[in-house]
Structure 1
Amino acid sequence: MSDIIQLLPDSVANQIAAGEVIQRPASIIKELVENAVDAGSSEIQVIVKDAGRTLVQIIDNGCGMSETDARMAFERHATSKIREANDLFAIRTMGFRGEALASIAAVAQVELKTRPHEQELGTRILISGSQVETQEPVTCSPGSNFMIKNLFFNVPARRRFLKTTATEMRHIVNEFQRIALANPDVAFSLTHNDQLLFKLPAGKLLQRINDVMGKQSSAHMIPVETETSLVNIHGFIGKPQTARKTMGDQFFFVNNRFMKSPYLHKAVTVAYENLVQAEHCPPYFLFFETDPSLIDVNIHPTKTEIKFEDERSVWKIVSAAVRESLGKFNMVPSIDFDQTDEISIPTFRKDDPVSVPSVSINPDYNPFDMDKPQPASSHQATPVSSNWESLYEGFETGGEEDWRDDEPETVILPSKENIEDEGEQQIIPSGTSSEKNETGTLYFQIKNKYIITSVKSGIMIIDQRRAHERILFEDFLKNIQAGASVSQQSLFPEEISFNEEDAILLRDIHEDLRVFGFELQEKSDRTFAVTGQPSFIKNINAPRLIDAILEAFKSGEVDPENEIKEQLATIMAQNACMRPGEFLTQPEMAELINKLFLCSAPNFTPGGKTVFSILDNEELEKRFR
């Protein structure tokens, strides 16, 4: 048998490595901007065209590279930060494995101009698909200027898997924000298709948070500061009222390196327990400073996951630090231990006599007699009358006719059988369990959650919230088919601020939201005014509904390339339907159920959950045998 194992060519090996390191244009932003930070830059410019497909350009004023270093930087595993294995456990810089430039050059056309500050001439290198095409001296500014053109030009399958321009741009903004927040002392700018998205001057952390996340965000931040022998934590957390359902404003940094950690995220959310709504999370920007030997940053190709040596202790420290900050700024109820008044707690001994409590009252006090003062006298509490049962005399016989006079009038509710027979309806009186009509059907609400009515085959139990969700979903579908929805204009438009990531997504789906009746007008600095809302939804909470839609897009529930309108209709119906525990009057229940059984599929919600269930007569009889 002939030998079949052989070494891969460098170009193929680099393309395989690029599959791990360079997943999309945002990966290039991450690697090159982190390198620019490590180079000591005080100003970094990021220029992008077509969401990185056509061009990604990174310009910095860092230390630059010599002619030899510029050429060596594109070799695999070439790095200036590692000399021996022990150096892996003392890393305080960003990129260190030396794979980024080799991976980028394997799947794109790269042009580099770089010059050290102490030299007069720089170096220009052109590389395409790992092949060096030219290297020559050039006049350029000190620092480095990387131009990455035509990403994945030689891997068309990878290029086809790139998402829409808006999606890729959101990933770029996300990576840009992470690096900008970690380095507030460096000035950053981001330009997309000649439009300036961010211009961040160097400054303090709170100013950087305000510039990145939007105006007025710093006014709702609480500082966090704690020092321990294991880790030091500083940064800011949002007040409970800033909690939103959409994720994206939550950041952990370890030694100025961004980190994802669902485990520590739970530590923060536990500290906010009972302060925010379920499934909502406040923004936070927490920075950890610890000994590099106590963490491992080399467990993931993109270095976004970090392993702590003692994660349980860090979890407790994070949770305690957040709770302490919330307590200091009166975000949670607390006991004032510095109060001057003494709290007197009476003691009780076993042999002490027990007396009946007394209260000072004046039975002759007349609140309308303002001329003479009413003296108070001490009286014991009046004992309970022994014939208290007489208070309820007459309720079993004569009282029943009186309190029924104020009941609502008879309402109309469809039964299961009559719905099937061309939509005919039966008349059902609303009232108590003892009130019957000709068919003997009952109709009422239980626990402000379920509507119960009798049908010929048994008892029908309807989940009112799911019924409303199904009705809204089909209303949305009708609006899609009609091509437009009736929008009710707002007299005082509500303004909602977003970060740049959410703003990009909202611009992308703006026309789709218009179909449902939402009219949004973009103001300056990523602020949108809700000038119109769907007219057939009552008491709509526009910020909450838009947040839910954005969260669905970011979590992958909505696929922008596959029936986006129907998926949006599902998300909107889930979040626009009535809240749990809502009380309904008899006419409202009748209208809800009538609309439900006019739907094409009243049995299930858009998500497939059961709307109503029938407890048949046979089952009822079995329960009482």
Structure 2
Amino acid sequence: MGKIKELQTSLANKIAAGEVVERPGSVVKELLENAIDAQATEINIEVEQSGVASIRVVDNGTGIEIDDLDLVFHRHATSKLDVDDDLFHIRTLGFRGEALASISSVSKVTLKTCTDNQEGQEVYVENGEVLNQKPAKAKRGTDILVESLFYNTPARLKYIKSLYTELGKITDIVNRMAMSHPDIRISLVSDGKTIIKTNGSGRTNEVMAEIYGMKVAKDLVHVTGDTSDYHLDAYFARPEHSRSNKHYISIFINGRYIKNFLLNKAILEGYHTLLMIGRYPICYINIEMDPILVDVNVHPTKLEVRLSKEDQLYELIVEKIHEAFKNRILIPQNDMDKMTKKHKVLDKFEQQKMEFEKRQQHNTPNHNTLEHHNVSSENNNVLNDEHQLNYSNLTDTFPDSIQESANDYDEYKKAQNEILDDMETEGVSNNEETTTHGNHFSESNINKDIKEPVGGTSSRRVPYMEIVGQVHGTYIIAQNENGMFMIDQHAAQERIKYEYFREKIGDVANESQNLLIPLTFHFSKDELMIINQYKGELDKVGVHLEPFGGHDYIVDSYPVWFPKQEAEEIIKDMIEYVLEHKKVDVKKIREEAAIMMSCKKSIKANHYLKNNEMADLVNQLRETEDPFTCPHGRPIIINFSNYELERLFKRII
């Protein structure tokens, strides 16, 4: 008698559930995707005990026909695929027909649905089997209640994390769904408390304000871009809002959240030198493309996909991030709100702000100085103007504390939406250039009443400032009508020299000079195979490996563009890079050389400068492409606004 037999349906469903239903968040994801595919405009999610006790998802979509109810909980039963060719033109989030079958095999499911607002149906499923079906009162759409998750698979239930962790996973899934579908009203309620609620306005930045807070939302830069195959729509947060992990990078393909190593790398390349090592940006990227160019059927949870022409998409992302920040002022402001925590309601804040601005108008200097309300950036993203302070101090506190303690959440949301409306009207989140009006300016306006400093043309990205002095031989203190600035002299010169060396190194031909003592390298057999394969490419960049008997090689010369003191270290790093990555990246090597040279040759801390030397340093910084961070991503300039200084000294209560 043969040993091979077909698995029972219930057992097969439990095995499938092992891939599809990993935790309560997996159930929320699958049900959310079904609701979105059903063209819902409103989806409400309620969970008890982080989804372990119950998960309820209610939508106002098309509902399920009575004739289809017999197949809803069958494996691989779907309305989204008919023929093989459909698999290569997938525009829906779900398509395999595994979700409901897998969920019902490890839980108790009650489904109510209606397609015409008249006659509804209710189906009860337990352990993957339909136990009851009857007419029921139901609104148009689908209402699914999942209870006692993993009740019949105790091993899976045992490995559920803490309720806090599971709720975090659910919240993360709902957040990303809300970002990718801002036109759908989505709410998440946990144990009777609202976690997230979007209004379905269709504005992604509004959803991001709900998720990340207004402090981040006001500093988002909106960019779009196209190639022959891709359309890119993205929001990138300013570098000062960086995080310690990649969790805040959200990438979507045709509205589907994905993870992709190469696209993550493209984002980090775009932010290159704007972020410190080990820091990651907050960003949202949606890529619209022909479904035939993407294979979404390579991962059980559909998180990983395969893309055609990835290199083209990589270059587009890098280019658009560079463009997004190229002409923006990226001077971070010191956050006094975190120190005081005294603004508890919106109207109180606005009253204080109006009093401050009124006093500022009475104290406005003569016509030889800038008026504070006329200073802004070319792209309306200046942190130094009082117009933006109308938002910054409000929003820094609101998302973290006021939102939680305010008696009227609707009033907060109204204020938040008004701010977003103003931002959109005035172009705060748009990367297009603006003309001079209201609080914005052209180049001629900013310099109209200021005598140009000797030695160069003032950059619009670094505002003109008067040098006041120096602290501990390390930080330069400067001022203008917008407040006080602190400049890290080492980081400033590091940026200046980095851009100089980067340009010079890129122009140098592959000329070589000899080492006094040749370097000797011993390779194992597998390493020797790799070295022999890439030896020709190493020769092209000036690293000539010559056989020295057995598995040994020597290097007796190096390219002239290598820093002399670090030549040996760079050669060793290059060879180790080839062994690890199996390629030669000349661009990366030259970049690292420029960073190393700039760091070693810049002035250090505790080095006292004269006023004219400090002014000259600031003027040189003003001429650089990216004057706000050093090559390692550390900030160069920090701004203390007049408003913050007055609050610090209790002139404003």
**How far does residue 527 in structure 1 lie from its aligned partner after superposition?**
9.6
Q: For residues 205-604 of structure 1, what are the structure 2 equivalents within 5 Å?
A: 205-330=204-329, 492-493=339-340, 523-525=401-403
**How far does residue 522 in structure 1 lie from its aligned partner after superposition?**
6.9
Aligned to 1:124: 122
Aligned to 1:168: 166
**How far does residue 121 in structure 1 lie from its aligned partner after superposition?**
1.2
Letter in 1 for 2:35: A
SS at match of 1:172: helix
**How far does residue 216 in structure 1 lie from its aligned partner after superposition?**
2.8
The answer (yes or no) to whether the contact 2:43–2:59 under 8 Å persists in 1 is: yes
**How far does residue 242 in structure 1 lie from its aligned partner after superposition?**
1.2
State how far apart, in whole Å, the 1-side matches of 2:143 and 2:194 are: 19
SS at match of 1:252: strand
Q: For residues 28-47 of structure 1, what are the structure 2 equivalents within 5 Å?
A: 28-47=27-46
Aligned to 1:133: 131
**How far does residue 525 in structure 1 lie from its aligned partner after superposition?**
3.3
**How far does residue 326 in structure 1 lie from its aligned partner after superposition?**
1.6
SS at match of 2:286: strand
**How far does residue 178 in structure 1 lie from its aligned partner after superposition?**
1.0
Letter in 1 for 2:262: Y
SS at match of 1:77: coil
Letter in 2 for 1:198: I
Runs of at least 4 residues off by over 2 Å: 328-332, 490-495, 521-528, 581-584
SS at match of 2:69: helix
**How far does residue 276 in structure 1 lie from its aligned partner after superposition?**
1.5
State how far apart, in whole Å, the 2-side matches of 1:288 and 1:106 are: 35
SS at match of 1:523: helix
1:561-600, Cα deviation, whole Å (9 max, x unpaired): xxxxxxxxxxxxxxxxxxxx9999xxxxxxxxxxxxxxxx
Aligned to 1:201: 199
The answer (yes or no) to whether the contact 1:231–1:289 under 8 Å persists in 2 is: yes
The answer (yes or no) to whether the contact 1:297–1:305 under 8 Å persists in 2 is: yes
Alignment partner of 1:107 is 2:123: no
**How far does residue 523 in structure 1 lie from its aligned partner after superposition?**
2.3
SS at match of 2:228: coil
State how far apart, in whole Å, the 1-side matches of 2:64 and 2:338 are: 60
**How far does residue 169 in structure 1 lie from its aligned partner after superposition?**
0.6
The answer (yes or no) to whether the contact 1:70–1:114 under 8 Å persists in 2 is: no
Any unmatched runs of 5+ in structure 2? 332-336, 343-398, 407-602, 607-653
1:74-114, Cα deviation, whole Å (9 max, x unpaired): 11101111001110111111001100000000000000000
Flag the 1:583–1:323 CA change in 2: closer, same or farther, 3 A: closer
**How far does residue 68 in structure 1 lie from its aligned partner after superposition?**
2.1
TM-score, normalisation: structure 2: 0.51
State how far apart, in whole Å, the 2-side matches of 1:331 and 1:230 are: 32
State how far apart, in whole Å, the 1-side matches of 2:322 and 2:405 are: 31
State how far apart, in whole Å, the 1-side matches of 2:240 and 2:117 are: 54
Question: Greater helix percent: which structure?
Answer: 2
SS at match of 2:76: coil
State how far apart, in whole Å, the 1-side matches of 2:304 and 2:182 are: 22
State how far apart, in whole Å, the 1-side matches of 2:95 and 2:50 are: 26
SS at match of 1:241: helix
Query: 1:147 aligned to 145, 148, 154, which one?
Result: 145
**How far does residue 246 in structure 1 lie from its aligned partner after superposition?**
3.7
Letter in 1 for 2:241: T
State how far apart, in whole Å, the 2-side matches of 1:244 and 1:146 are: 36
Aligned to 2:56: 57
SS at match of 2:160: coil
State how far apart, in whole Å, the 1-side matches of 2:338 and 2:38 are: 53
The answer (yes or no) to whether the contact 1:214–1:526 under 8 Å persists in 2 is: no
State how far apart, in whole Å, the 1-side matches of 2:58 and 2:285 are: 28
SS at match of 1:64: coil
TM-score, normalisation: structure 1: 0.54
Flag the 1:132–1:269 CA change in 2: closer, same or farther, 3 A: same
Aligned to 2:414: none
Flag the 1:294–1:220 CA change in 2: closer, same or farther, 3 A: same
State how far apart, in whole Å, the 1-side matches of 2:147 and 2:155 are: 17
SS at match of 1:157: helix
State how far apart, in whole Å, the 1-side matches of 2:323 and 2:338 are: 42
1:156-193, Cα deviation, whole Å (9 max, x unpaired): 01000100001101100111111111100000110000
The answer (yes or no) to whether the contact 1:222–1:329 under 8 Å persists in 2 is: no
State how far apart, in whole Å, the 2-side matches of 1:45 and 1:70 are: 22
The answer (yes or no) to whether the contact 2:117–2:138 under 8 Å persists in 1 is: no
**How far does residue 44 in structure 1 lie from its aligned partner after superposition?**
0.4
State how far apart, in whole Å, the 1-side matches of 2:246 and 2:198 are: 23
Letter in 1 for 2:253: V
1:214-248, Cα deviation, whole Å (9 max, x unpaired): 22322111111111102110121011111122432
State how far apart, in whole Å, the 2-side matches of 1:120 and 1:71 are: 20
Flag the 1:491–1:42 CA change in 2: closer, same or farther, 3 A: closer
**How far does residue 148 in structure 1 lie from its aligned partner after superposition?**
0.1
Flag the 1:308–1:491 CA change in 2: closer, same or farther, 3 A: closer
Flag the 1:267–1:241 CA change in 2: closer, same or farther, 3 A: same
1:101-130, Cα deviation, whole Å (9 max, x unpaired): 0000000000000000x2511110000001
Flag the 1:331–1:291 CA change in 2: closer, same or farther, 3 A: farther
Aligned to 2:179: 181
Identity level (%): 32
Taking only aligned residues, the RMSD between alpha carbons, in angstroms, comes to 2.5
Aligned to 1:84: 83
1:314-347, Cα deviation, whole Å (9 max, x unpaired): 1111111111212143559xxxxxxxxxxxxxxx
